[in-house]
Structure 1
Amino acid sequence: MGAQRLLITGAAGGVGQLMRGRLRRPGRVLRLLDLAPQEPAAEGEDVEIVTGSVTDPEVMARACADVDALIHLGGLSRENSWEAMLATNIHGTQVVLDAARQAGITRVLLASSNHAVGFRRVDEAGPGGLPADSTPRPDSYYGVSKAAIEALGSLYHSRFGMDVLALRIGSCFETPLPLGPRGLVTWLSPDDCARLFEACLSAPSPGYRLVWGVSDNTRRVCSLAEARALGYEPKDNAEAYADLLRGAPEPPPEESVHVGGGFCTNPLGAPNPL
């Protein structure tokens, strides 16, 4: 049996760069796709660099050739115009899924977001946290695009039998500090992100699943039960950084009551802060 080939779209983005080293494994080739320039393979690094857009069917057909599994991180990661979200995030994801289908790829991980349910109230969370399969309540055009890719993943599972896991990622940075106090709720550490991806890649016959992508934060409002059922065992907790955020301004009340935070008050289509 040859090496596993794992395709990662959006590999030059923030999460993609954090995963490049963390998803390296003996017997695994990482095929990294992005429009942006990427570092060439280092000595001993089993990496294939592909330059192109997720919206280009020909690029995606070539990128998916001989691939065993796909992690789709490509797309716009913050609020933008409706036209941009439709073209890149929604249409681009359909192009990716169809290329994967035609190439015979049976395991796809889709990077969704907490903003797909951003207008869910924090106080909706029960003792175990807000369920991972809570119905969408998007807080922005960006959130709508993430709800749409979840729906596309469900469609491609139901129509074609692909295992599709949509991960509602909170915020994946080296530390939670860039997000201020909100980061203590939503942080997904890079190491836990890799652990979550590995669990989703190896879980036997998961079908279509929605799972939260957060670390085991003391202040989290999201359920980890669904991800743990796949084998995810987070080891990090944003609370370790709480002292460094002491004295930082708290978000205004109209933002703190909703899962999506400031995305819920930012003007639609306008650039938003982290």
Structure 2
Amino acid sequence: MDSQLGRVAVTGAAGQVGRTVREGLGDAEHLVLIDRSPLPEPADADRETAVEADITDVEAMVKAFEGADAVVHLAAIADEAAMPDLLRANVEGALAVLEAARRASVRRVVLASSNRVTGNYPIHHHVFPDEPPRPDGFYGVTKVAAEALGQLYADTYGMQVVALRIGSLEEQPTETRHLATWLSPRDCVGFVKAALTADNVNFVAAYAVSANARRFWDLTAGENELGYRPVDDAAVYSGEFPDDDPFWHGGPQGGAFAGPEALAPHLPGGGTQE
């Protein structure tokens, strides 16, 4: 694919990842910024267009994607929630975006997946993207489904789909787990740009995480399939966190995101047991 960024549509542009991506794709020919929340009017109307729309509205997405060379799909409920809400936003939303991209003849779609599709692997396990999913909650389950939809559209319609399993995007690590999971803003933009421009893509799932010495996830898919090697390492902040933090004693990679207590508030029926 052309290394020059053309017209790129970004869903969820008002969110944390969306704001980072918007700033990092300043060299794109044109950005179409989509969110259901109102966006500030672009400073340069020749280079940006703001669209207020819900991603589950296929017709609105088709219109927003017209003329786009690629779509970066970031809109989602990005935390644990009740399954019906997650299904609508994260699964039906992903399907609507993929279908709208197909109808608008957009060939490349970058899906924001999550590291939490494998959050129930133990911390001592080095996870490759082609290993079976082990989601740490309902949110992770919906991201597994979104990846499967991306694979389906790649196989069925010949679309080029990249699912980036995004780590913990922060300016710098704020908790012990981030020493393994941190994604710096610089590396976030690097992964997205690589996913937009890599050649010979059918379907690729890759972990988007910085080059942290203590990371759980394998980076070769990003390096080999997308051509991006992250540059930052959370180790430079390791002195700010205790070496004997209980997180390192064992348990799931999802940390506090995993386990019965994290899931209980979102179980059907409020998690009560007769």
Alignment of 1:213-252 (within 5 A): 213-229=208-224, 230-246=226-242, 250-251=246-247
In structure 2, the partner of 1:56 is 57
In structure 2, the partner of 1:102 is 103
Q: Distance in 2 between matches of 1:144 and 1:244?
A: 33
1:4 aligns with 2:6: yes
Cα shift readout 1:108-159 (whole Å, capped 9, x = no counterpart): 111111111111122232xxxx212221111111000000000000000000
1:111 aligns with 2:112: yes
Q: Distance in 2 between matches of 1:3 and 1:156?
A: 23
Which aligned segments of 4 or more residues in structure 1 are displaced greater than 6 angstroms?
none
User: What is the TM-score with the length of structure 2 in the denominator?
Assistant: 0.90
Alignment of 1:15-54 (within 5 A): 15-25=17-27, 28-43=29-44, 46-54=47-55
In structure 2, the partner of 1:150 is 147
Decide whether the 8 Å contact of 2:74 with 2:111 is kept in 1. Answer: yes
2:157 to 157, 160, 164: 160
Q: Distance in 2 between matches of 1:154 and 1:269?
A: 31
The letter of the residue matching 1:22 is G
Unaligned runs of 5+ in 1: none
The letter of the residue matching 2:49 is E
Q: Distance in 2 between matches of 1:21 and 1:244?
A: 28
1:257 to 247, 251, 254: 251
Q: Distance in 2 between matches of 1:101 and 1:18?
A: 26
Q: Distance in 1 between matches of 2:24 and 2:46?
A: 12
Percent identity over paired residues: 38
User: What is the TM-score with the length of structure 1 in the denominator?
Assistant: 0.90
Q: CA RMSD in A?
A: 2.1
Q: Distance in 1 between matches of 2:45 and 2:212?
A: 35
Q: Distance in 1 between matches of 2:51 and 2:131?
A: 35
Decide whether the 8 Å contact of 1:131 with 1:222 is kept in 2. Answer: yes
Unaligned runs of 5+ in 2: 267-274
